[in-house]
Every structure is written in C-alpha cells, then in structure tokens.
Amino acid sequence: MVLHTEILMLCLHVFTTRGVHIMNTLSTPNSGNGISSRRTHDIMKYSTDINKYNLDLSVITSLMYEVKACKDAFVLLSNSDVKNSSKPLYEIQFGNNFNRKSRILYRINDSLDAGSRYMQFINSRNILNCNVYLPFWISWAGGKITYGTGLVVAENTLDSWINTNQFAVNGIEVYTSFSETGDWKIHIEDKFAGRFDSCSMVNNKADMVVVDDIQCSSHIECATHCGVFQICMGYNFNIASNRCEILSFGSEVVIDIPHHTEAGWKYLLFNTNIYEIVTFYVTDLSNYCYFTNCVYPWKRDRCSAFRMFPPQVLLITCMMSAILHQYSEGYSSCQEIYQSNNRNPSGEYTVYHSNKSIRVYCSFEESWGYTYISKASYGTAVIMSKLYSTRKFVKTRIRWSSGIQKEVTVENLLSYQNSSTLYFGYNSFTSYKGPRSSNANIMSPYIFLGFLPLSLATNNNTQGYRTAGVDYTFKNCDRNPNSYLTFYYNPNNAYPGKVGSSNTFMMGWIDRSSSLASSRHMSADFYFDWEMHMGGCGGFMTSQSVSNIGAALGLPFAISPCDGVDCQNGGNCVSSESTGTAAADVKI
C-alpha cells in the first residue's frame, strides 16, 4: 500500500522537465543592402534558423547570444516555425544607422503597410564590434520585449516595449545585412522546459551520455532514479534485463534525438505532453501500487469508495489530481470564491481563465458582489461572461491622485431599461460603436462598457445614462451612436491621441460617487485610464482631461443564498436587482 501523498509526489515527478544549456555557433552572410523586416516582404528567406535541436521554442521566453559584427545584426522572433514571413514577428536590430542605434520592430504581417508595424529606437553608439564577440540578451515573456547587454537576462537593460497583441514565438532566426556578415554564439536558456520526442517505439535505444547504469524492476523505478540527477533528461530501459540507463545531453550539440535499433530497449525523454506520459506509465504504475482512496484537492473532499474500480482507473484519477493540484484554488470568478471556504472576505484574489491567471478584487456586499480586474493582468484575455450574473447595472470606482476612492452605481436610463441591457466586453464592442481608434491603438487592451447599442443610439433623440438613481441625459444632435465607457489597461503608459474635455453631463457618475472607507480601498493597479463618449453632442472625455482620475469597473454577480447553491439555513430564495429608483433628472 502506498500513501496518497507519496503517489501525489510520484505523479508530479513524472511530469517534471529538466534543464539544459545548449550553445550553437553559426555565421551569417551579407543578406544584401536594404534587407530588413521593415522593407522586405519575405524576410525569412534571408535569415538563418537557430533551432537545430527539435526544441519546442514556444515555451522559451528569453535568448542569450554573442555576436561579432561591425553593424546591422538582426534577431527575428517569429510566430512561424516554417519560415512563413506573413506571420507576426518581432525584430531586434543592433548597430542600426552605422552602429549608432538599436531598434525593436513589431510586424503584424508582410504587407509592409505603415499601419502593420511598430518601431522603437534608442541611441547605442558602437554597440557592436567588428573583431570581438559581444554578449546580448532578449526577453519576450508575457509580450514584453526587452533587450540588454551581457548574458544575464534582466541585467543591463537597454530598452523594452509591451505588445498588447502578443503571440507565441515559435521560430528564432538571425541575419546580417547592409554589406555586413556576422559570427554568432547562440545560448539556449538553461531553464528550458520544452518538449523533445517522448516515448520511442520498442526496440529503440537513445544514443546519449549515460550518467548511470543500474538495475530497476520497472520503468517507473527507472524514472525515479532519473529524478536524482539534475542533468537527467530521460532514460533507456530494457524490460527483459531490467537495465536502466540514466541519460544526459552532455556537452555535445544534440541534433534531434540520436538513437538506434536494439532489441528489448525503449527510451523515454521527459515531455510536457501529459497524455502521452499518462498512457505510457499507466500499466507500470498500476503494478507498482494500489490505493483505496484519493484526495481531490480542488474540491477539498475525500473519497474512499474506490475499491470497486480497476487500479488503472484509480491511477489516472490520482494523476489528474496531481496535475490539477496547482489549480486547487483555480476558481474562475469571485462568485466561486465567495461560495467556497465558508464565504471569503472581500479582497484581492486570483482567478483562472483558460488556465491563465487574472488578478481581481472581489467586493462582497449584501445581495451582490462585484469583480474588479487588475490592469496588471493585461497579458491574459478575460472571459467576461464568467465574472457577472446580470447586465442591468454596474459599479464604478474612482480614484484621485490624492488617494481618495469613491464608488457609484451606473445603469441605463430608466426609459431604456426595458429595451436594452448594458454590454461588457474584453477588447470587443459587438453591436456598439467602439472606442476611438487613436486611443485604442496605443492603449489597448481594454474593457468596454456599452450603454445603448447601435440600433438604439443611431437616433436623434434623448440618450444618456443613470447613476446613483439620477438620469443624466442629452439630445443626440447628429445620430452619432457613441454610448460607452472604455477602461484601458494602457501597459505602455501611452498618452491618448485625443483627450477631450468635461461637462456636467459627462461628470455625473464621478460627481455622484460616494466615499469608500479606507478598509475597502483597492490598490492602484485596479484603476484604469478611461475614455467616455456620448453622441453626437453628449461629450468626449478621458481620465487625462479630468486630472488623471483613475476608474475601475465592478461587474455584478448575485451572492444571495440561491445563487448557484441550495438555500441555506432555511432561507427563502429571494433575489433582488434593485439599484434605486429616484426620480431626479439631469439634462444638457
């Protein structure tokens, strides 16, 4: 009998990848005058692929290298692993303008249109040397492109830029042009956690450095011994002789996975593909141990009636439990957080959408809770529908530079509440007039709050919004259907292309807000730059036009006893969406 905790550790070990440091040397020819991603459609026709190791580059987030060149040495980070120049790419150029500048270029496609690329330069006189290898690093973690000198990532940073439309880097290439050649030493980061070939066919043996040669009774015992060695990348196992060879890459360059045919052997290299490894190990594990219960950590529940199931079923269950252990608190919404652990208090939490983390502030109030998203999570797409249970109203919070924080309820005008609900979108505004492009292009991603859709806003009539029980209205003078508040993550701290100005109508939701006790304050990361546009003759206003007042959008969800759970403590199933019905009215 093996304890659950031992099984959990064993399962977790199976999926652990090991580190490796690989260096490759290469030379690049002069690609020709004028060859660069800025000017050349098929740029990857001229570049050299550095990946000769069958690595899964999509999981690498940095690169260290040394280069010897007089000027114009380029590194391409491409979304394509087959040299398709039409895919998005980054280009980092050292020694631009006769070795006086360096540059980041982001290219969406190969059209070469001005709107399809972004460039950012810095002064870097004499950064390259014709006769000496000089070290550099590049990082693209989370869509933030950063580069510097030396072989230690994040030290001696020269420049950085955040791409709000980030993509997976699947290909890394280098080239030199403008009459220059280059010699390169490419370093693959020593914490590489990518994927090589996993399980071989039977009667195949890997030709790698043998760290240890021992007797083991099964594959799983051999894998356990591999875990003792930090340099172990896999093993050869012979089931007939019970021989186990612990394998390493050694110091030689590895081209794919060298192997040969030999009766009785099978090799396995650690792989992040969970399903392949589960399939491979299930038979050996079922013979290795048998257990009667398994903890499901994400449910905080213990199940003990497992004796009726075959060992294979139990082992797969335990393995999945181990895999999901890191998501034991993997809730997708504040509502789920509230319903767990005996009703959590208000505060900052982490939720997961598509297995990616999002920092949120959960405000649990009487019959409603509110989800506020942190702009620090700009790199993760939000599945908005998981965060609210009604679109009849929202709360907005406002933060002044002095630290004062206030909040207020916002909804559609009373006269529109039977014909339209609000709209909540992440980088989307379906059926609504979207944010101003001169701002969205440089401040995205954004969260969009829509009041009236195009079908209702494209009219020459009374429109507006309601806040704190008061209707704020204007007459749409030209049928321009703007009717929204946009909250910008603005990761590059860009200044808006259009700033606008305030008026009494537009300021209503700010002026009507009520002070928050300091115990309910949120950190500054939850307050966004914003843009409000109404009409046709309502107004256009941004946070920069009102002394940089930050704003946060609170998405509402019910937390009554009947919201997704059984009624508790004999309570009645009653839910309320009342947000106030004062008859006041403000017009412009």
Distance of CA 514 to the CA centre of its chain: 34
For residue 64, CA distances in Å to 25, 78, 99, 148, 285 come to 12, 17, 20, 10, 40
Q: How far apart are CA 386 and CA 353, in angstroms?
A: 9
User: Could you write out the three-class secondary structure of 198-229?
Assistant: CECCCCEEECCEEEEEEECCCHHHHHHHHCCC
Q: How far apart are CA 247 and CA 236, in angstroms?
A: 7
Residue pair 390/554 in contact (Cβ under 8 Å)? The answer is: no
| Residue type for position 453 | P
Mean per-residue pLDDT, 462-487 = 97
What digits encode the pLDDT tens for the residues 211-248? 788 888 777 677 766 765 656 677 888 888 889 898 87
Mean per-residue pLDDT, 164-178 = 89
* pLDDT the model gives residue 261: 85
Q: How far apart are CA 461 and CA 411, in angstroms?
A: 18
Residue pair 170/83 in contact (Cβ under 8 Å)? The answer is: no
Tell me which residue of 88, 87, 117 sits closest to 104, measured CA to CA.
117
Mean of the per-residue pLDDT values of the chain: 78
Q: Which two tokens stand for residue 478?
A: 């030209």
What digits encode the pLDDT tens for the residues 120-165? 999 999 999 998 889 899 999 888 999 999 888 888 899 999 998 8
Region of 549 on the Ramachandran plot (φ > 0 left; ψ -120 to 50 alpha; else beta)? beta
* pLDDT the model gives residue 220: 66
* pLDDT the model gives residue 198: 42
pLDDT higher than 60, residue 297: no
Handedness of CA 542, 548, 553, 554 (dihedral sign): negative
| Residue type for position 439 | N
Which of 102-106, 300-304, 312-316, 327-331 ranks highest by mean pLDDT? 102-106
Burial label, 83 (beta-carbon count in 10 A; 0-12, 13-18, 19+): middle
* pLDDT the model gives residue 451: 98
Region of 392 on the Ramachandran plot (φ > 0 left; ψ -120 to 50 alpha; else beta)? alpha
What's the chain's length in residues? 588
> HSE-up of 358 (CA within 13 Å, CB side)?
27
Q: How far apart are CA 33 and CA 175, in angstroms?
A: 12
Q: How far apart are CA 497 and CA 439, in angstroms?
A: 5
511 backbone dihedrals φ, ψ, rounded to 5°: -65, -30
Q: Which two tokens stand for residue 546?
A: 């009102």
Q: How far apart are CA 28 and CA 69, in angstroms?
A: 10
Mean per-residue pLDDT, 168-172 = 88
For residue 527, CA distances in Å to 51, 215, 577 come to 42, 61, 25
Q: Residues with Cβ < 8 Å from 138, sequence gap 6 or more? A: 62, 63, 75, 77, 92, 145, 146, 147
Measured CA angle at 334 (ends 331, 336), to 5 deg: 50
pLDDT higher than 90, residue 389: yes
Furthest CA-CA distance within the chain: 89
Taking only Cα atoms into account, the Rg of the chain, rounded to an integer number of angstroms, comes to 29
Kindly report the CATH number that applies to the domain delimited by 48-187. 2.60.120.200
In DSSP terms, which residues pair with 384 in a beta bridge?
none
For tokens 């406002």, the residue is 398
Distance of CA 374 to the CA centre of its chain: 13
Region of 224 on the Ramachandran plot (φ > 0 left; ψ -120 to 50 alpha; else beta)? alpha
219 backbone dihedrals φ, ψ, rounded to 5°: -55, -45
* pLDDT the model gives residue 472: 98
What digits encode the pLDDT tens for the residues 25-77? 788 999 888 899 999 999 999 998 886 544 556 667 888 889 999 999 999 99
Tell me which residue of 33, 64, 20, 41 sits closest to 172, measured CA to CA.
64
Residue pair 227/247 in contact (Cβ under 8 Å)? The answer is: no
Q: How far apart are CA 327 and CA 492, in angstroms?
A: 31
* pLDDT the model gives residue 292: 27
Q: Which two tokens stand for residue 192?
A: 């590489």
The domains of the chain are located at: 48-187, 208-249, 334-558
Q: How far apart are CA 350 and CA 359, in angstroms?
A: 5
The DSSP result for 388-406, as a single string, is -S--SEEEEEEE-TTS-EE
